[in-house]
Chain A
Amino acid sequence: MTKPTNFFVNNEEYDAIVIGSGISGGWAAKELCENGLKTLVLERGRMIEHIKDYPTMNMDPWDFEHRNRNTPEDDKKQHKQRRTGYTVRPESKHWFVNDLEHPYSETKRFDWMRGYHVGGRSLMWARHSYRWSPMDFEANKKDGHGVDWPIRYNDIEPWYDKVEEFIGVCGLNEGLAQLPDGKLSEPMGFNCVEEDFANRTNEKFENIKVTHARIAHITGDKVHEGRNKCQFRNRCIRGCPFGGYFSSNSSTLPAAKKTGNLTIRPHSIAYEIVYDEEKGIASGVNIIDALTMNKIFIKGSIIFNCASAIGSASILMQSKSKRFPNGLGNDSGELGHNIMDHHLGVGASATVNEHSDKYFKGRKPAGFYIPRFKNLDDKTESKEYIRGFGYQGGANRSNWKRAVSEMSYGSELKNELLKPGSWSIGMGGFGECLPYHENKMILNYDKLDKWGLPTIDFDVEFKENEQKMRKDMKEEAVKLLTEAGYENVRGYDNSNSFFPGLGIHEMGTARMGRDPKTSVLNKYNQVHSVSNVYVTDGACMTSSACQNPSLTYMAITARAANHAAKNFLKNKKA
Chain B
Amino acid sequence: MINRRTALKNITLGMGAVVATPTVLSILSSCNAEVETWKPVFLSTPEKNLVTHLADVIIPTGEIPGALDVNVPQFIDKMINDLESDENKAIFNKGTAIFLEKIGGTSKEKIETGLETYFKLEGEAAEKAKSFQWKSEKDVDDNEKDDFYIYKFLFGVRQLTLFGFYTSKKIGTEVLSYDPVPGRFEGCIPLEDIGNAWSL
Chain A residues packing against B (C-beta within 8 Å): 58, 60-62, 65-67, 69-72, 188-192, 194-195, 231-233, 355-364, 397, 399-401, 403-411, 413-415, 417-421
Given the interface pairs A399-B166, A407-B119, A409-B119, the reply to whether A414 lies near B187 with Cβ below 8 Å is: no
Decide yes or no: A411 and B169 within 8 Å by CB, A357-B190, A359-B193, A360-B188 being known contacts.
no
Given the interface contacts A67-B163, A400-B166, A410-B60, does A405 sit within 8 Å of B133 by beta carbon? Answer: yes
| Least CB separation from B163: chain A residue | A67
Interface of B toward A, CB cutoff 8 Å = 57-60, 62, 64, 66, 78-79, 82-83, 85, 115, 119-121, 126, 129-130, 133, 155, 158-159, 162-169, 172-173, 175-176, 179-194, 196-200
C-alpha spacing A421/B62, complex, angstroms: 22
The answer to whether A361 touches B176 (Cβ under 8 A) is no
Contact A362 B182 (CB under 8 A): yes
Could you tell me if B190 and A233 are in contact, using CB atoms closer than 8 angstroms? no
Q: Return chain A residues, CB-CB under 8 Å to B185.
A: 188-189, 232, 360-362, 364
Complex CA gap A411/B59 in Å reads 6
Residue of B with least CB distance to A399: B197
Identify which of B59, B163, B198, B200 contacts A413 (C-beta below 8 A). Answer: B59
Q: How far is the CA of A411 from the CA of B196 in the complex (A)?
A: 16
B27 to A: closest C-beta gap in Å: 19
B169→A360 contact, CB < 8 A: no
Chain A nearest CB from B20 CB (Å) reads 14
Give A360 Cβ to nearest chain B Cβ, in Å.
5
Q: Inside 8 A of A62's CB, which chain B residues have their CB?
A: 167-169, 172
A407:B126 contact, CB within 8 angstroms? yes
Contact B190 A358 (CB under 8 A): yes
Of the residues A192, A231, A361, A421, contact of B194 by C-beta under 8 Å: A361
A358 and B133 form a contact (CB under 8 A): no
> In the complex, what distance in Å separates the CA atom of A65 from the CA atom of B57?
25
Contacts of A415 in B (CB 8 A): 64
Closest chain-A Cβ to B178's Cβ sits at a distance in Å of 8
Out of B85, B167, B191, which one reaches A67, CB within 8 Å?
Answer: B167
| Residue in contact with A409 in the complex, picked from B58, B79, B166, CB distance below 8 Å | B58
Partner of B59, one of A67, A188, A192, A414: A414
Q: A362-B182, A407-B130 are in contact. Are A419 and B172 (CB under 8 A)?
A: no
Contact between B182 and A404, CB atoms less than 8 A apart: no
The docked-state distance in angstroms from the alpha carbon of A426 to that of B166 is 25
Q: Which residues of A contact B121 (CB under 8 A)?
A: 407
Contact between A360 and B189 (Cβ–Cβ < 8 Å)? yes
